[in-house]
Structure 1
Amino acid sequence: MASIVKRGKSYHVRVSWRDKNGVLKQKSKGGFKTKNEARQYAVELEQQLFTGVNIKQKKIPFSEYFANWYKVYKQPTSKYSTQQRYEVAIRQINEYFQDIAIQDITRHDYQVFLNQYGTNRSKNTVRIMHSMIKACVSSAMYDEIIRKNFTENIQLVFDPARTRKIDYLSLDELKRLTDLCLNGRQKRYTSRYMILTAIMTGMRIGEIMALTWDDIDYQRQTITVNKTWDYQSGGGFKATKNDSSNRTVNVTQQLLDWLAELKENNSEMVFENVRGQIPTSAAANNTLRALLKQSEIKKPSFHFHSLRHTHVAYLLSKGIDIFVISKRLGHSDLSTTTDTYAYLIHEYQQTQISEIKKNLALLAE
C-alpha cells in the first residue's frame, strides 16, 4: 500500500508490503515536484512488487533470453547430446512464444505451452523440456529480470502411449545371459566383459569404456567412476554426466577376478582389446543382441543401457533400499531414480505388501 505526503515543496512516497514470510517491508523515495509524479512512481513500484514486472525495464523476448542464457551458461560445459536437446528447446520456444517478453509470461501461459507440447510426447521428453526452461527462468529471477517464477506449481502433460516402460530382464533371463557371457568370454575380445560389468554395477556404457586400472581397487573391492568416454565424438576422456555421477561402486570379488583376466592385453585401459581398441557402443550392442538371441530372449528393444535398468530391477527384487540404489547409479537426487523406475518400484511394492501382511499375521499366532 502506498502513501504520499508533501514535505516542504516536494512530495514523498512510501510503499509498504509483506513478503512471502509475512515480514513487513517498506520502500520510500522523495523529491517529487508534483503529486502526480509521486503517484506515478507509486503505481510503477507496486506493479513491480506485486506483479513481478518492472515497467521501466526493457522487455526481453523469452526466446532471446533463453538462447543467450544457454549460450553463456550451458553450452560451454554441455556434452553433444545435451546441446542437441537445448537446440530443440530453442526452436520450440521460438515457435510458440515468438516475441513475447519473459516479463509478460504467466504461469497460465506456461501451462498452456506444456499442455500443447506434451500432447504427442513422452513423459521423459516433457520433463526434460520443463527442467531446461525452469533452470533458465530461475536464472532470470536471480538476474532480477522477473520476480515470479512462472514454472512453479505446474502439471506435466504427456502422451501415455509414448511413455515407454523401461526394458529389463527377468531373474531367469538375467542368469541365462550372465552364464552365456561367462562361458564364451575371451580376453582378446572385451565386449562380453563390458556387458558383465554393466550387469554387476549398473554403470553407463561411457563410464565403463573409460575405466582404467587405476580406477579399480582390488583391496577395497571398489570401482571409482570419475570420467566417461566420449564415444559419440570419436573417443577420448570427458567429464561425467554431472557431479553426482562421480562415485565409488562396491563390487564383488567375482567381477574383479573376471576383469583381472584383461590385464594380459597390456593396456592402461581396462577394456582395450588386442587390437588396441575399445569396443564401440555399436559393437557392444551387437554382441549383446547376439547373446540375447543365443539365450532365446526375445526383447527387440533391449540395448546396452537396458542392462542398467536390469541391475536396478535385480536389486529391487532383493529388497535393496531405493536410496542406496540411487547413490549406486550416480543420480543427482532420489526423485530422478523414483521417476525413472516408478512402475518398477510399484511392482516390487506389491510384492512387499504381501510380505508385510504375512509377517503381521504371524504376530497373532
Structure 2
Amino acid sequence: MLEKGNNTELFCDYYAMWIEIYKNRAVRKVTMDKYLMTYKWLVRLVPDLKTGDLNRNMYQLLLNQYAEFHERQTVMDFHHQLKGAILDAVDEGLIDRDPTRKAIIKGKTPRAKKIKYLNQFQLQTLIASLELKEKVNWDYFILLSAKTGMRFSETLALTPEDFDFKGQAVSISKTWDYKGNGGFLPTKNRSSIRKIQIDWQTVIQFSELVKGLPPNQPIFVFGKVYNSTVNDKLRRICERCKIPVVSIHGLRHTHASLLLFTGVSTASVALRLGHSSINTTQKTYLHIIQELENKDVDLVMRLLAGLS
C-alpha cells in the first residue's frame, strides 16, 4: 500500500512517482517518453518547488518559462501531461486548490511548415522507376506507402494475413516498434484500425510477393529497421528521377493530396489515413482544401451565370 505523500515533498519527485505508478506500462512507449521528458523539464525549471507551494501563480510562471523554449502546441501538451498529476495531488490534499485552473497557454511563434509532396506526374515517374523484383525489397515498401498513405510503422507491421486479395484491401490493426526493440504495438488511435482498398495491380504484385512467407510475420522486417534507411533509399530514387526529394511521410501527404485534388471527400480521406478526426485532415491539408474551394466558387459562378 502506498504511503500518504506530504506537501513538503519536491514536486518533481512527486511527479516522478506519479508517472511510475499511473503511466508506466499503461501507455505506449512514445507517450511514456513524453512524460519522462516533462519530468526532466520540471527538474530543470523548478527543481526546488515543493508540492504544497504549487499555486496558480507558480504554475503560470512554470508554463511561461517552458513557453520560452517551445511552440504553443507543445506547451499545451506539457500542460496536459502535468494536469493529471496535479489534480491527483489536489485530491490527496497535498495542494489546496487546482493551480491549473484558467491557465494561460503561451508559446513561441510556430515556424512555417511546408508540407512536401509530389504531383501526379512526379509520383508516376517515381513508381515507374522502382525496381520491383521477385523478392521483398524497399522498393515494394515505397510502392505500398505511395498507394495507401499508410504510416511508416503501419507498413512495417504488415503481414501476409493482413492482405485480403479477393476483397482488394489491406487491414491495418497494429504498428511495428521500430524505435524500440521491435515487435508489434497498437495503432496510434482507434481510428487507425481500418481497411484500405488497393488497386488490382497492387493485388497481383503482392499476392505473388507474399506466397510462401509466414502468414503472421512482418514482410518488411529483417532485423533492426531504421526510418533513415528507407528515406535514404527514397531520396536516391527521387534524385535519379530528377523529382523533388520527399520522405516516406511525404508519400503519405502525396497520397492524401492527390485524393483531394481528384475530388475525394475530406471525410473519406480522413478514414483512409486513419485520422482520429476530420479536423486533423482539414488542418493538415488546409491549403489544398482552400484551393479546391476557390475552384468550386468558379464552378458555382459559371452555373449561376448560365441560369440568367
Structure 1, unpaired ranges of 5+: 1-56
Question: Which residue, out of 294, 298, 301, partners 1:353?
Answer: 294
Matches within 5 A, 1:138-177: 148=98, 150=100, 154-161=104-111, 164-177=113-126
Identity %: 29
Q: Is 1:93 paired with 2:34?
A: no
User: TM-score with structure 1 length normalisation?
Assistant: 0.69
Q: Distance in 1 between matches of 2:275 and 2:25?
A: 22
Q: What aligned pairs does 1:1-20 form with structure 2 within 5 A after superposition?
A: none
Alignment-derived partner of residue 293 in structure 1: 239
Are residues 1:228 and 2:169 paired? no
Tell me whether 1:68 sits opposite 2:33 in the alignment. no
C-alpha separation between the residues in 1 aligned to 2:257 and 2:52? 43
Relative to structure 1, the CA distance from residue 94 to residue 284 in structure 2 (aligned partners, 3 Å threshold; closer, same or farther) is same
CA distance in 1, matches of 2:19, 2:106: 22
Secondary structure of 2:300's partner? helix
| Contact preservation (8 Å) 1:202, 1:329 | yes
Could you tell me which runs of 5 or more consecutive residues in structure 2 were left unpaired when the two chains were aligned: none
**Superimposed CA distance per residue, residues 163-185 of structure 1 (whole angstroms, 9 cap, x where no aligned partner):** 5333322333222222222xx21
Residue equivalent to 1:15 = none
Task: Name the residue aligned to 2:141.
Answer: 194
The CA RMSD measured in Å over matched residues stands at: 3.2
Superposed, which structure 2 residues align to 1:220-299 within 5 Å?
220-264=167-211, 266-268=213-215, 269=217, 271-272=219-220, 280-299=226-245
Corresponding letter in the other structure for 2:123: L
Question: Hey, what's the Cα distance between the residues in 2 that align with 1:335 and 1:127?
Answer: 18
> In 1, Cα distance between the equivalents of 2:129 and 2:60?
50
SS of residue in 2 equivalent to 1:248: strand
C-alpha change, 1:362 and 1:201, in structure 2 (3 Å) is same
Instruction: Give the deviation of 1:110 after TM superposition.
Output: 4.2
Distance change >3 Å, CA 280–CA 333, structure 1 → 2: same
3-state SS, counterpart of residue 164 of structure 1: coil
Question: Is the contact between residue 60 and residue 103 of structure 2 (CA under 8 Å) also seen in structure 1?
Answer: no
Structure 2: how far apart are the matches of 1:278 and 1:219? 32
Deviation, structure 1 residue 265? 5.6
Q: Deviations over 1:119-156 (max 9, x none)?
A: 34345544543442345446556777666472656434
How has the CA–CA distance of structure 1 residues 249 and 127 changed in structure 2, closer, same or farther, with 3 Å as cutoff? farther
Displacement, 1:289?
Answer: 1.4
1:328 aligns with 2:272: yes
- For 1:100-130, what per-residue CA distance to the aligned partner results, in whole angstroms no more than 9, with x for missing partners? 4377332x65454444323343455445434
**Preserved contact between residue 187 and residue 265 of structure 1 (Cα < 8 Å):** no
* Larger strand share, 1 or 2: 1
Aligned residues: 298
